[in-house]
Structure 1
């Protein structure tokens, strides 16, 4: 079933390709951080980290996962523009 077209207001524009890439990066970063928290937390606990070591390891894994997944999401969004 086709979707009905929504009338545009005067001056309303579609987001630019760069804006879409920024949004893709942001969404990918959040998803990557969530998966980094899960995998990094389980990995750190399995390795026997406690306290400060645990927090540092999980934080590093979250930032790495977020940056990686966010970059790939931004690239994928840019390809679709």
Structure 2
């Protein structure tokens, strides 16, 4: 049997492994602009459903366990009763959390809420008691001037 030489006429063609052929495609860097964006309404809905489902499972476990301990497992057995309580509570909480998270986060700040938020932000930025007193006195003086102008 003749020996095969690499590159000879009787040798098999040398082929690169698949991972080497695909590596330029997989490692190609694509310029992507990263921009922060608010979650969509569907994202908020999913997030609320997940939070509600988790809270509901925990509550279902507590109430289901209490019911099984107090009244017994019933004809279906302990595991079926507990899982029924957990799934019912998860569905209930998940449904209402998802609706609540969409309603809560859907509205933009109203024209009345925006100035209040800036005032709260300024109040949060107070670093010392003396600075807070100084800001309070300045606000009182501003209010006195405004009342004198109205009179």
TM-score normalised per structure 2: 0.44
Q: Name the counterpart of 2:57.
A: 33
Q: Supply the RMSD in Å over aligned alpha carbons.
A: 1.7
Deviations 1:48-74 (A, max 9, x none): 228x61110000000000000010001
5+ residue gaps, structure 2, are 1-32, 107-151
Structure 1 residue 43: deviation in Å? 0.3
Structure 1 residue 44: deviation in Å? 1.3
Q: Which runs of 4+ in 1 moved over 6 A?
A: none
Count of residue correspondences:
72
The answer to whether residue 23 in structure 2 is matched with residue 20 in structure 1 is no
Q: Which has the higher contact order (CA 8 A, sep 6+)?
A: 1
Q: Which has the higher helix share?
A: 1
TM-score normalised per structure 1: 0.80
Q: How does 1:45-60 map to 2 (within 5 A)?
A: 45-49=69-73, 53-60=77-84
5+ residue gaps, structure 1, are 1-8
Are the counterparts in 2 of residues 32 and 69 from structure 1 also a CA contact under 8 Å? Answer: yes
